[in-house]
Amino acid sequence: MTGTRADAPLCPTCGQPASEALGGPEHDWECRNEACSEFGQPVRADEPPARRRFGPGNGSLVVKTYREGMAAKVGHDLVIEVTRWAATLDASGALELTADSRSLAVREGLGGVKPLTDGDRDEIRRNIDGKVLAGQPIAFRSSAVRMPDRPGRFSVDGELTMAGRTRPVSAQLELRDDGRVAGTITLTQSDWGIKPYRGLMGALKVRDEVEIVVDARYDA
């Protein structure tokens, strides 16, 4: 009977842990998932995982907002970090991401007459939680990912759920020479029913378009 150990490599086709081979010394591991097209075939001990995982430990997910309006000079362009998120990319190219909308933290406030205070940051976070995203989960699931054979730009298509609405999204990302996946995705808040912030009787506004900046390590 074959055995599956905690340190078993994953089959690159089905993503299931390999079992110790029945074939003797010719190879140490093989796929024993009968539903897999590679059933009974050898799996290298150093096979990279079929599903790669990303999160705050090996990447960053940042939202950038921009001010506009007659009183724009008194406001700030915000750099907001998503501190709790997770993404997976499997061998088939399927990409999934989830993020906790209550984990957004204001890291910078650029411009403005005065620098942001801790109180300002707390107020912005409360507005995001209560009026913008309402604590609802954020999720993305791809419908098509065209990964490059070598460093370069690639396309991702899918659906993004945010603020209780799901809308199609297309993005261009870049696989860099150092093994990082990076890119900036522009989203229009009103497409998800989000009303951009207005202050000072409409003289200070947050631009409808925001930027999502992704930077994560892709271990080949």
151 and 204 share one domain: yes
Domain extent, residue 183, equals: 52-217
15 and 102 share one domain: no
100 and 9 share one domain: no
Task: Give CA–CA dist 139/183, Å, rounded.
Answer: 18
Q: Which amino acid is at 198?
A: R
Q: Which amino acid is at 97?
A: L
Model-level pTM? 0.75
The predicted structure's pLDDT at residue 45: 72
5 and 111 share one domain: no
- DSSP secondary structure of 77-127: EEEEEE-SEEEEE-TT--EEEEE-GGGEEEEEEESSSSPPPHHHHHHHHHH
69 and 39 share one domain: no
pLDDT along the chain (220 residues), means of 10: 56 72 66 78 69 88 93 89 91 84 95 91 92 92 76 87 96 83 94 88 86 83
17 and 103 share one domain: no
Rounded to 5 degrees, what are φ and ψ at 194? -90, 125
94 and 166 share one domain: yes
119 and 194 share one domain: yes
Task: Give CA–CA dist 91/50, Å, rounded.
Answer: 5
The predicted structure's pLDDT at residue 1: 35
61 and 26 share one domain: no
60 and 46 share one domain: no
* CATH number for the domain harbouring residue 212: 2.40.128.110
Q: Which amino acid is at 66?
A: Y
Q: How many domains does the chain have?
A: 2
156 and 60 share one domain: yes
Q: In Å, what is the CA distance from 33 to each residue of 19, 22, 140?
A: 9, 14, 29
Sign of CA dihedral 110, 112, 113, 115: negative
Q: Token digits for 160?
A: 């993004």
CA atoms within 13 A on the CB side of 17: 9
Identify the domain boundary among 50, 68, 86: 50
